[in-house]
C-alpha cells in the first residue's frame, strides 16, 4: 500500500488494521512479487519423517514431489518414496542450498518445502529461492532473518508490546563484559546462541564461578552448529514451563493462533513430550498468549506457519517471549490433532496465495470440541547414560495399530540404519483423547505395544513419565526430569518368567542353527535325538550397571515341555512354542500364558514381555575374549557413541578427580562432555582433537587400579 493511501485510511482503521498496514508497507521491500498460482511440483529439501510427512500431503493434492538424499541416506525411506530422488553426495550436503535450488530448477519444480532443521530457517536460502523464481514454502526471508537473530527479535517484540525476558542481547561479546552483564541480571543465567535452536549452543550458569566455562561451551557448540558463536545472556527462570503458540498468516494480512502446546518435558533443552492444550493454564492467560503470538507474527510481516515460543513462570503466572521458529515444528501433529487441520496443506495453500482456511473464531470452535493431544518423540538414545544418541540397524520394529486417535509419523522401518550423522529421532507417536487423562492412558497403552530393537531408545523412559504422578496431574516444568530423576530412572525388577522365556528362546534358536533338519517346533529340536538334555544358561542385565549374573537351568521333559529353574523359582512342565517369523515365543506356565518377543543379535538380547522391554547380554568367558583378541578395557573411558573428538581436557600423567572433564565429543550435532568415572591418574590419551571414533573405542586410559597416585 502506498504511504499516502496508508495515511488517508488510518483514521478509519482499528489498531490491529493499522499495525497490519504499517507491517505491509515496511516489509514490502523484502519480498519479490510473483503471481499467485497453484503448485503442481515441489522439492522437499529435507530428510526422514518430515520429508515423508510433507510428501504425503502434497501427493494427496496432486502435487509431484522430488526428494533429496545424501550418501548415508541412499536407502532411507524418504529417498525411496518417490521416483524423483536425487543424490546430494556428502553427509552435510543437505545444507548445500545452491545445489538444491539447481536441482529444483532442473526438475521443473515450482516451490521448495524446507521441512524443519537444515535450511528451513536460513534467510539467505529463502532469499535465493525467491530470486531463482521458486516459491519458498515458508515466511519471507526478512522475517526469517529478523526472528533468527535472537537479539534483533527481542527488540522487535518489545516494540510490538510482547513481553521479553530481562537480559543482554547486544553485540559486545567480550567474555568479561558478558560476565558483568550476568552479574547485573543475577544468577542463574541462561547463555544462548543468537542463531541457535533445538537446545544447541545453550548453557545455564548457576554461579559466577562457572560462568566462563559455560560461556566457552555454549560458544563452541554454537560455532559448530550454526557457524556463529554470538550469544545472549538472560535471566534463567527457575520453575519455567515452555509454552508455544502455533501461528499462521497469509499474504492478505490475516493471522490466526491455532492454540498452544506445552513442551516442558525436556532433556538437554530439547523436547521429549508435547501436548495441547497446556494443562492448568487460566483461560485469560491462554487467550492473552494467543494474542501476543499473533502480534509477534504481525510485527515481522509473517506468512505461513510459525511458532512463537514463550517461557511461562510457574511461580508468578507471567510469560515472556523466548523466540520464534519460522518454520513448521516437529510437534505440529499435536496441533493437527486438536484442530482437525492439515497444517502442511495450509502451508501449500498460503504459498499459492490463498487466504487462511479458517478465522480465529472458527479455529477456537474446533479446539473446544477436539479434546487433548500428546506427542512422544521416539529417539535412538540412552536415557540412563545422559540421553546420549545411539545408532545402528533397526533389527526389529513393531508399532501400535494406528487409528483416528493414534498416529505415527516415522522415518524408518525395520532393517533401516539409524545414522550417527543425523538427528536420532526414529518416529513420533501422537495420541488424542477426550481429555488429558484419557490421552495419557492412550499414550501409555500405545507405548506398551511399541517395540524397537537395535539402537537403544527412550521408549521405556517415556513409559516412566506416563506413570509419574506429577506428570499425570499436570504439574510440569522444564526441570521435571532432573527433579524426578529417582522416580524416572528406577530399575524394573526382572521377573523369573522373563528369564525363563529368554532362555527357552535361546535354546530353540541355537537348536535351529545347529541342526536345521531336526528343527521341528511341534516336537522340539532342543533335545537332538533320543535323550533329553539339561542346559545351563547365563545372562547379565545390559540395561543396568550391575555385574550380577542370572543363571537359568532348563531341562527338557518332553517334545516341547521343560522344567525351568531360576534361583529358588522352578517352573515345571512349561510348554513352549516359538515362532521364528514373528520372533515371539509362546509358553504355557502352570499359572499363566506368556507371549514374549526375543530378538538376539550375537551376544545381545532384547526382550519384550507384557509391555516392558528388557535388555540382556550373554557373558563371554575370559579365555574366549583372549582367543578373539579382545583388548581389556577395564581401566579405559570409552566413547559412548560414534563421535568426533572436539577437545581433550587432560594429558598423560594428570591426576583427575571424579566427574572432572576428560574429553569433549560431538555426535549428531550435539556436544557432550565425557567426565572421569573415578579419581585416578591418566596413563594415556588415546585420541586427539579431530579424531573420529567408533562407539566403544577407548578415549582415555587410566593407570591400573591399586597403583599409587603421585602428588
Which residues, 6 or more positions from 525, have their beta carbon under 8 angstroms from its beta carbon? 508, 511, 512, 515, 518, 519
Report how far residue 226's alpha carbon sits from residue 197's, in angstroms, rounded to the nearest whole number.
9
CA–CA dist 252, 326 (Å, integer): 18
- Contact call for residues 279 and 515 (beta carbons, < 8 A): no
Angle between helices 48-60 and 343-351 (to 10 degrees): 70
Which DSSP state fits 13? S
Neighbours of 187 (CB within 10 A): 16
CB 554 within 8 A of CB 535: yes
* Beta-carbon contacts of residue 674 (< 8 Å; ≥ 6 apart): 637, 639, 640, 661, 662, 663, 664, 665, 699, 700
260 in Cβ contact with 242 (< 8 Å):
no
Reference 385, options 664, 692, 672, 691; nearest CA is: 672
Contact (CB, 8 A) for 241 and 278: yes
Task: Provide the grid cell at 409.
Answer: 509419523
The secondary element (H helix, E strand) that includes residue 646 is strand 643-648
**Burial tier of 493 (Cβ tally within 10 Å: 0-12, 13-18, 19+):** exposed
Selecting among 20, 327, 436, 583, the annotated active-site residue is 327
d(CA 131, CA 32): 7
Q: Is 327 a catalytic residue?
A: yes
| Residue 262: partners with Cβ closer than 8 Å, 6 or more residues away | 241, 242, 243, 274, 275, 276, 277, 278, 279, 281, 476
Residue 629, burial from CB neighbour count under 10 angstroms (0-12, 13-18, 19+): exposed
Beta partners for residue 243, in sequence order: 262, 310
Beta strand spans in 436-486 (E)? 451-453
**Nearest in space to 638 (alpha carbons), one of 681, 693, 683:** 693
Cell of 493: 525388577
3-state SS, residue 15? helix
Residues 6+ apart with CB under 8 A from 473: none
Catalytic residues: 327
Amino acid at each position: 500500500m502506498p504511504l499516502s493511501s496508508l495515511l488517508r485510511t488510518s483514521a478509519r482503521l482499528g489498531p490491529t488494521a493499522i499495525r497490519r498496514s504499517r507491517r505491509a508497507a515496511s516489509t514490502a521491500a523484502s519480498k519479490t512479487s510473483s503471481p499467485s498460482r497453484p503448485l503442481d511440483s515441489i522439492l522437499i529439501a529435507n530428510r526422514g519423517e518430515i520429508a515423508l510427512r510433507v510428501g504425503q500431503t502434497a501427493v494427496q493434492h496432486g502435487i509431484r514431489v522430488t526428494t533429496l538424499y545424501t550418501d548415508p541416506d541412499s536407502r532411507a525411506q524418504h529417498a525411496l518414496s518417490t521416483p524423483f530422488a536425487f543424490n546430494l553426495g556428502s553427509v552435510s550436503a543437505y545444507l548445500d542450498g545452491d545445489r538444491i535450488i539447481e536441482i529444483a530448477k532442473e526438475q521443473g519444480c515450482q516451490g521448495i518445502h524446507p521441512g524443519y532443521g537444515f535450511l528451513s530457517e536460513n534467510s539467505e536460502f529463502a532469499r535465493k529461492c525467491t530470486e531463482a523464481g521458486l516459491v519458498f514454502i515458508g515466511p519471507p526471508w526478512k522475517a526469517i532473518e529478523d526472528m533468527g537473530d535472537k537479539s534483533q527479535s527481542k527488540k522487535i517484540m518489545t516494540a510490538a508490546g510482547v513481553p521479553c525476558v530481562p537480559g543482554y542481547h547486544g553485540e559486545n561479546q567480550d567474555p568479561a563484559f558478558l560476565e558483568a552483564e550476568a552479574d547485573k541480571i543475577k544468577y542463574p543465567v541462561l547463555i544462548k546462541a543468537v542463531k541457535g535452536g533445538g537446545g544447541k549452543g545453550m548453557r545455564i550458569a548457576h554461579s559466577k564461578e562457572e560462568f566462563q566455562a559455560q560461556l566457552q561451551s555454549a560458544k563452541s557448540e554454537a560455532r559448530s552448529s550454526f557457524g556463529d558463536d554470538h550469544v545472549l545472556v538472560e535471566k534463567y527462570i527457575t520453575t519455567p514451563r515452555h509454552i508455544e503458540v502455533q501461528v499462521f498468516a497469509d499474504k492478505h494480512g490475516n493471522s490466526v493462533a491455532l492454540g498452544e502446546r506445552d513442551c516442558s518435558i525436556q532433556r538437554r533443552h530439547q523436547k521429549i513430550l508435547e501436548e495441547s492444550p497446556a494443562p492448568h493454564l487460566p483461560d485469560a492467560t491462554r487467550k492473552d498468549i494467543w494474542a501476543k503470538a499473533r502480534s509477534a507474527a504481525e510485527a515481522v510481516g509473517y506468512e505461513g506457519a510459525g511458532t512463537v515460543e514463550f517461557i511461562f513462570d510457574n511461580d508468578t503466572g507471567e510469560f515472556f517471549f523466548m523466540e520464534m521458529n519460522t518454520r513448521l515444528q516437529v510437534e505440529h501433529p499435536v496441533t493437527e490433532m486438536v484442530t482437525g487441520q492439515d497444517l502442511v496443506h495450509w502451508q501449500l495453500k498460503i504459498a499459492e496465495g490463498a487466504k487462511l482456511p479458517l478465522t480465529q473464531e472458527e479455529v477456537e470452535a474446533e479446539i473446544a470440541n477436539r479434546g487433548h493431544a500428546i506427542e512422544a518423540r521416539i529417539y535412538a538414545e540412552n536415557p540412563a547414560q545422559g540421553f546420549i544418541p545411539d545408532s545402528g540397524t533397526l533389527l526389529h520394529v513393531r508399532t501400535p495399530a494406528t487409528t483416528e486417535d493414534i498416529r505415527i509419523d516415522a522415518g524408518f522401518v525395520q532393517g533401516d540404519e539409524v545414522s550417527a550423522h543425523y538427528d536420532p529421532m526414529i518416529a513420533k507417536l501422537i495420541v488424542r483423547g477426550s481429555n488429558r487423562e484419557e490421552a495419557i492412558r492412550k499414550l501409555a497403552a500405545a507405548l506398551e505395544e511399541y517395540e524397537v530393537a537395535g539402537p537403544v531408545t527412550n521408549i521405556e523412559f517415556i513409559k516412566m513419565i506416563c506413570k509419574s504422578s506429577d506428570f499425570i496431574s499436570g504439574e510440569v516444568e522444564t526441570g521435571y526430569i532432573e527433579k524426578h530423576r529417582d522416580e524416572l530412572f528406577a530399575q524394573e525388577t526382572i521377573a523369573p518368567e522373563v528369564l525363563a522365556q529368554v532362555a527357552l528362546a535361546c535354546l530353540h534358536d541355537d537348536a535351529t542353527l545347529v541342526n536345521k533338519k531336526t528343527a521341528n517346533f511341534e516336537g522340539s529340536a532342543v533335545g537332538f535325538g533320543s535323550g533329553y538334555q539339561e542346559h545351563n544358561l547365563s545372562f547379565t542385565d545390559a540395561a543396568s550397571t550391575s555385574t550380577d549374573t542370572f543363571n537359568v537351568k532348563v531341562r527338557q521333559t518332553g517334545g516341547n515341555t521343560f522344567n525351568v529353574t531360576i534361583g529358588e523359582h522352578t517352573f515345571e512342565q512349561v510348554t513352549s512354542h516359538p515362532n521364528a517369523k514373528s520372533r515371539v515365543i509362546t509358553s504355557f506356565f502352570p499359572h499363566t500364558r506368556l507371549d514374549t518377543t526375543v530378538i538376539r543379535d550375537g551376544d545381545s538380547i532384547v526382550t519384550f514381555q507384557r509391555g516392558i522391554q528388557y535388555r540382556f547380554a550373554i557373558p563371554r568367558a575370559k579365555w574366549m575374549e583372549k582367543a578373539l583378541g579382545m583388548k581389556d578395557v577395564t581401566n579405559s573411558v570409552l566413547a559412548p557413541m560414534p563421535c568426533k573428538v572436539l577437545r581433550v581436557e587432560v594429558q598423560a600423567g594428570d591426576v583427575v578427580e571424579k566427574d572432572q572433564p576428560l574429553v569433549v565429543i560431538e555426535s549428531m550435532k550435539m556436544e557432550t562432555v565425557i567426565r572421569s568415572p573415578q579419581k585416578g591418574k591418566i596413563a594415556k590419551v588415546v585420541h586427539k582433537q579431530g579424531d573420529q571414533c567408533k562407539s566403544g573405542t577407548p578415549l582415555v586410559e587410566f593407570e591400573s587400579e591399586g597403583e599409587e597416585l603421585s602428588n
